[in-house]
């Protein structure tokens, strides 16, 4: 199936595909998701196979609203506060599994469940049409950068996968993940919702060094070091350029460009140094530069505040990936 425009007829086709236990890629406000009926283990297995994902890496379940989420997960006071404040939106909560259990395969055998209510109108419509929770990791091959445009999904999975075309994802960065299985919540993944915003609502356990995990410990299984990796070497905090390197810029490039005679291939995450714009462009620009096979992708320094934390996290993973 090709990339499908979001007509009512195509929405029905995609919903039927999902109900039948097949995969479809759907737009969310963060990144494209490779979706399957979360209640159907055979369908979920197809996600792992298609992604080439290690089976211990559990999936996020998407539901239309908090009431539905509470069928599958147990929400304590902190989880409720966060859900009420930020859903629908780019926040995933890890909560103890609830009365109606999602299959082990989705949770990779963990007693907890990662769940979120996405804000994208097409994703919301699909959830209504399918009438079942949807398991959906980012729609990229395991270890590859997340897909923020339909063409990225097609590039990773080929033309057989149905991709619902919602255009570019409005945020372009994965959801923030907060673990609410303990009395004080813990940040598991910095993401499109800034840590500062989360901290305005609940106390957060020290953001222990999630930027440089050294083990594959299942406490935060998503934080494998090799993740979000392009083929090309990525060099961070670049203040000068070597010959053959492409430049992934942030803000004003005048100074760094004086360090090379050549006019390097340059993409600018945000010429005006706006972190939200940089988040939106990050994966698309990494893919674009990667496709040109420079000797390395040199990335200018990104400030650590606000969304810069999540951007820096993804870049460090991209740099560590090779």
In this structure, what token pair is assigned to residue 223? 């934080």
17-25, 215-223, 259-267, 274-282 -> range binding ligand TXA (CB under 6 A): 215-223
Among 14, 24, 50, 58, binds ligand TXA (CB under 6 A): 58
Tell me how many degrees the CA angle 51-56-61 measures, rounded to the nearest 5.
70
Residue whose tokens read 């559990």: 58
Residue 172 interacts with ligand TXA (CB under 6 A): yes or no: no
Among 40, 68, 138, 268, binds Mg ion (CB under 5 A): 138
Among 114, 241, 278, 297, binds ligand TXA (CB under 6 A): 114
Task: Return phi, psi of residue 223, to 5°.
Answer: -95, 35
Residue 214, CB-side half-sphere exposure with 13 Å CA sphere: 2
Please tell me the distance from the alpha carbon of residue 195 to that of residue 204, in angstroms, as a whole number.
9
Among 14, 18, 28, 144, binds ligand TXA (CB under 6 A): 28
Among 23, 44, 72, 107, binds ligand TXA (CB under 6 A): 107
User: Which residues, at least 6 apart from 68, have a Cβ–Cβ distance to it below 8 Å?
Assistant: 133
186 by DSSP, 3-state: which? strand
Residue 232 interacts with Mg ion (CB under 5 A): yes or no: no
User: Residue 218: which of 26, 77, 38, 57 has the closest Cα?
Assistant: 57
Residue 188 interacts with ligand TXA (CB under 6 A): yes or no: yes
Closest distance to Mg ion from the beta carbon of 193 (Å)? 16
Q: Which residues bind ligand TXA (CB under 6 A)?
A: 28, 30-31, 33, 57-60, 92, 94, 107, 110, 112-114, 136-138, 174-175, 177, 188, 220-222
Q: Which residues bind Mg ion (CB under 5 A)?
A: 138
């Amino acid at each position: 199936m090709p990339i499908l425009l979001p007509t009512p007829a195509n929405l029905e086709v995609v919903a039927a595909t999902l109900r039948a236990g097949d995969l479809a890629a759907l737009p969310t406000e963060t990144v494209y998701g490779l979706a399957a009926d979360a209640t159907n283990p055979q369908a979920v297995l197809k996600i792992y196979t298609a992604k080439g994902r290690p089976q211990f890496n559990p999936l996020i379940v998407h539901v239309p609203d908090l009431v539905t989420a509470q069928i599958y997960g147990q929400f304590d006071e902190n989880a409720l506060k966060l859900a009420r404040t930020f859903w629908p939106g780019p926040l995933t909560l890890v909560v103890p599994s609830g009365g109606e259990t999602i299959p082990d395969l989705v949770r990779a055998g963990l007693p907890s469940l990662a769940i979120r209510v996405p804000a994208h109108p097409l994703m919301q419509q699909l959830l209504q049409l399918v009438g079942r929770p949807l398991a959906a990791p980012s729609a990229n091959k395991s270890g590859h950068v997340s897909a923020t445009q339909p063409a990225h999904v097609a590039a990773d999975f080929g033309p057989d996968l149905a991709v619902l075309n919602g255009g570019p994802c409005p945020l372009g960065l994965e959801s923030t993940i907060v673990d609410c299985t303990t009395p004080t919540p813990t940040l598991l993944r910095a993401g499109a919702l800034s840590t500062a915003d989360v901290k305005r609502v609940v106390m957060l356990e020290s953001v222990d060094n999630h930027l440089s995990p050294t083990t594959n410990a299942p406490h935060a299984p998503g934080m494998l070091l090799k993740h979000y990796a392009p083929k090309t070497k990525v060099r961070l905090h670049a203040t000068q350029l070597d010959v053959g390197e492409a430049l992934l810029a942030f803000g004003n490039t005048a100074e760094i460009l004086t360090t090379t005679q050549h006019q390097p291939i340059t993409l600018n995450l945000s010429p005006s140094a706006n972190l939200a714009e940089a988040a939106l462009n990050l994966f698309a620009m990494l893919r674009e530069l990667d496709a040109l096979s420079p000797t390395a992708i040199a990335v200018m320094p990104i400030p650590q505040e606000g969304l810069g934390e999540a951007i820096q996290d993804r870049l460090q993973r991209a740099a560590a990936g090779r």
